[in-house]
Amino acid sequence: MTPRFLLPPAIASLLAVLVTACATTPSITPPPPTTAQVAPAVRTVLERYVSAESPQDELDSLATWPTEDGHTWLIATAKSTHRLVVFDADTGKRLREVGGEGSQPGQFRRPNGITVYGDMAFVVERDNHRVQVLSLPDFKPLGSFGEKELRSPYGIWLDETEPGELEVYVTDSFMYGKKFDQVPPLAELDQRVRRFRVQFDQTGRLRTHYAGSFGDTSEDAALRMVESIAGDPDNDRLLIADEDRRHESTLREYSISGRYTGRSLPQDSFAAEAEGVALWTCGDASGYWIAVDQLAPLTIFHLFDRATLEPRGSFQGETTAHTDGVALHAATTAQFPNGALFAVHDDKSVTAFDLGEVARGLELSPACTQ
């Protein structure tokens, strides 16, 4: 028989307590539940007008020009009819058409991007591979540039670097393949934005100099399909829209000198293609970027802080859909005392939003409506 050893009662009680403690799982307080980040609701701001439709034109980009008699023109490029269409910006009434198909001065082939500087319109022609400059209001051709460098140009933005001298940025979305839907190799994507220096001599003659190209060539951030471009020299910023949804459609940030900063607009901002972009500057040096989310049945316009690029709200109209280009006209007009945002609707008409109504609807800075 194996001898039995009896522990003193005090020691036995202590061991029992220790065994129980080791076998008990300590209670862990669960972390507080996280609150999901909910995107701001999309507000509705009604259009002030929708112009008469002209599906045959295939309207694309917009620019405004204050006329000598106190009115404002809204000038649209019409890709399929190879011309410019001029509207009354206050009413959306169609006033005239300019140009027609061809490669001679004053003619166009697939006009796309457009911008106005002073009394001159700069028109990007995809299929003439050039930027044509015309005087306003007569649309007299002053010259063109880019024929040797541009392959499939789309968007345009310009900056006055000193009196009489402009730096002009043109996006070049050349593609490969039988259907021109194949993105070039990464090494060639440093040609996505081309830069030109433009001067006008005392006789009004155009002088240009090609200043090279730029674009990131990394797998994650290369510009694959480019069109819209806009800049903010005060913040040393260019925003360039990449429309390729097969990778990521967003607007990427570059410096004015063409250096990619590594930033883009917030992830998942765009449900469709990132398209037209415009800068809305306010009276206190603040402001907002307005960027198009090219959706149907209704386009969504996203606003981002001018300085930080943080989201500041989104809105849609009642009609405007599948928007390509936009133009922001902050100056007072007869019908828009706080300025207007103009947009292309479904390639066939133009629409207008009152900037004062946008500011109130999204609770933006009062400085934008003063």
The answer to whether residue 233 sits within a structural domain is: yes
- Nearest CA to 271 among 304, 240, 300, 242? 300
The answer to whether residue 27 sits within a structural domain is: no
- Nearest CA to 253 among 262, 266, 243, 244? 262
Q: What share of the chain is helix, strand, coil (3-state, %, to 5)?
A: 10, 45, 45
Each residue's pLDDT tens digit, 308-321: 999 999 999 999 99
The answer to whether residue 22 sits within a structural domain is: no
Output the CA angle 162-144-347, nearest 5 degrees: 100
> Which residues contact residue 26 at a Cβ distance below 8 angstroms, ignoring those fewer than 6 apart?
none
The answer to whether residue 18 sits within a structural domain is: no
Q: Three-state DSSP class for 359?
A: helix
The yes-or-no verdict on residue 190 having pLDDT over 50 is: yes
Contact 166, 159 (CB under 8 A): yes
Write down the pLDDT at residue 12: 43
Q: Three-state DSSP class for 361?
A: helix
The answer to whether residue 186 sits within a structural domain is: yes
Mean residue pLDDT across the chain? 90
Each residue's pLDDT tens digit, 93-150: 999 999 999 999 999 999 999 999 999 999 999 999 999 999 999 999 999 999 999 9
Tokens 């990007």 locate to 124
**Alpha helix stretches (DSSP H) within 203-311:** none
Write down the pLDDT at residue 142: 95
Domain that holds residue 186: 40-362
The answer to whether residue 1 sits within a structural domain is: no
The yes-or-no verdict on residue 25 having pLDDT over 80 is: no
Dihedral of CA 86/89/92/95: which sign?
A: negative
CATH code for the domain of 120: 2.120.10.30
- Number of structural domains in the chain: 1
The yes-or-no verdict on residue 343 having pLDDT over 90 is: yes
Contact 96, 88 (CB under 8 A): no
The encoded tokens of residue 4 equal 């039995």
Write down the pLDDT at residue 248: 86
**Within 13 A of 263's CA, how many CA atoms are on the CB side?**
13
Q: What is the mean pLDDT of residues 359-363?
A: 95
CA of residue 341 relative to chain centroid, distance: 13
Each residue's pLDDT tens digit, 212-258: 999 999 999 999 999 999 999 999 999 999 999 888 899 999 999 99
Banded pLDDT at 300 (limits 50, 70, 90): very high
Residue 211: CB atoms within 10 Å: 14
Q: Please, what's the b/e burial string for 141-179 (b: 16 or more CB within 10 A of its CB; e: otherwise)?
A: bbbbbbeebbebbbbbbbeeeeeeebbbbbbbbbeeeee
- Give CA separation, 116 vs 29, 59, 73, 161, in Å: 63, 17, 11, 16
The answer to whether residue 224 sits within a structural domain is: yes
The answer to whether residue 2 sits within a structural domain is: no
